[in-house]
Amino acid sequence: MNFWSDPINSVYESWLLAFTGWGLDATLSQVIIYILGILILITFAMVIDILLVWVERKVVARFQGRLGPNRIGPFGLFQPIPDVIKLIIKEDTTPANADKFVYNLAPVLSLASVLFLWAVVPLAVNIFGVDLNIALLYMIATGAFGTLSIIMAGWSSNNKYALLGAYRQVASMISFEIPMVVSLLIPAIITGTLSMKTITEYQVNNFWFFLVSPLGALLFLIAAIAELGRSPFDLNEGESEIVSGYHIEYSGMKFGLFYAGEMLHAFTFGGLLAVLFFGGWHGPFSSEFPLLGVLYFVAKAMFGYWIIMWIKYTVPRIRIDHMLLFNWKFLTPLAFALLIVTALVHPLLKDQPQWIYILGMFLSNLLLGWVTIEILRGRSAKERAAVEPVAAVGHH
């Protein structure tokens, strides 16, 4: 087996041979190699995470007409290093009335819940942690730990702002989980599997799913932003009212873990958007050279991350009641409507030629989007008429 065509398995087998050659038990050496592999994967994720600090600071600066970090290294590229050193040598204060164990566990769980995701994300044709046949559900399950860490942080800090921020964040996370799960069902319907590896391979062999379900990709993106608690859904940390939300009492490296977790989470959701709707690692020569596939994957994930940043630094924050209403009265019904449309159209067209299938699915999405916009227009006209009766009369 060649390293360039199948790097993971060739390394795995040569190491397994070496370890068993030293007289180690086969299972034990498998466990050791797995742990080493996991450490490499997590380190890869964390190196990207540290680079993201620079990306985020540089991009927000450009959005705001500033230069951003530019002193340390070329283009300020080494800025994250002093940032991390500073976080490590900061004094870590704990509120006197905090629930110590839960308080310390929360940031660890917060970052861990994001790292867990990397076990199932396919980075290239044969570079992935594990091919779970329920990877999409696994992804939702790791989100449960993220939610848990937020409520633990908010409650154990013994601070009203922290608890209020945690409530808001958890309420929005659980609400937006419904449209997210429903948008996940669309690739599942088309491919007939919940494995991310198979979903990517299907897209490599056929077409990228944003062609057949642009509305699904949009729903996933909106729900992902809400899950991340980024603007316009960042009312969990509305600094003008509750200062910084659930991590208000955290300082030093514990705050750093929340920060790193949030940033890596955004990047990972960019990657998942790529996996589910934009072909994952698919690109020219990606099947022959898996390492090239990793590059494509990171580029696509970075693109998704950039869209999330773009929205974050453009759109103002909305109110908690508006946000929950937006989810339950608009996004959830729309997601279920899209699911029904997909379930009706997909079996009808799946045996037709590919271009008819793509066109039919795309048009059904377009039609649903158009109907939604018309309904919204009608409703908003009605509401405007109720608020400004004089103006409405004046128009006619």
Kindly state whether residue 339 participates in binding other proteins, applying the rule CB under 8 A: yes
Applying CB under 8 A, among 53, 111, 127, 217 the residue interacting with other proteins is 111
Applying CB under 8 A, among 236, 332, 364, 365 the residue interacting with other proteins is 332
Kindly state whether residue 116 participates in binding other proteins, applying the rule CB under 8 A: yes
CB of 131 to other proteins, least distance (A): 7
Applying CB under 8 A, among 44, 63, 145, 207 the residue interacting with other proteins is 145
Name the H helices within the chain.
7-21, 26-63, 80-89, 100-117, 135-156, 160-191, 196-205, 209-212, 214-228, 239-242, 252-277, 290-312, 320-325, 332-349, 354-387, 389-395
Q: Which is nearest to 160 in space by CA: 101, 219, 255, 243?
A: 243
Kindly state whether residue 53 participates in binding other proteins, applying the rule CB under 8 A: no
Nearer to other proteins, 159 or 287 (CB): 159
What whole-number distance in Å separates Cα of residue 364 and Cα of residue 216? 12
Kindly state whether residue 20 participates in binding other proteins, applying the rule CB under 8 A: no
Which residues are CB-contacts of 373 (< 8 A; sequence separation ≥ 6)? none
Nearer to other proteins, 321 or 355 (CB): 321
CB of 396 to other proteins, least distance (A): 30
Kindly state whether residue 282 participates in binding other proteins, applying the rule CB under 8 A: no
Applying CB under 8 A, among 19, 78, 303, 328 the residue interacting with other proteins is 328
Looking up tokens 């994250």, which residue turns up?
80
Kindly state whether residue 235 participates in binding other proteins, applying the rule CB under 8 A: no
Applying CB under 8 A, among 4, 34, 75, 370 the residue interacting with other proteins is 34
| Residues 16 and 30 sit within 8 Å (Cβ to Cβ) | yes
Q: Which is nearest to 254 in space by CA: 94, 78, 49?
A: 94
Applying CB under 8 A, among 61, 77, 218, 253 the residue interacting with other proteins is 253
Applying CB under 8 A, among 122, 245, 256, 280 the residue interacting with other proteins is 256
Total residues contacting other proteins by CB under 8 A comes to 95
Beta partners for 124?
127
Q: Which is nearest to 181 in space by CA: 122, 232, 224?
A: 224
Beta partners for 23?
none
Applying CB under 8 A, among 62, 66, 100, 160 the residue interacting with other proteins is 160
Nearer to other proteins, 81 or 325 (CB): 325
- Is the C-alpha dihedral spanning 126, 131, 137, 138 positive or negative? negative
Kindly state whether residue 109 participates in binding other proteins, applying the rule CB under 8 A: yes
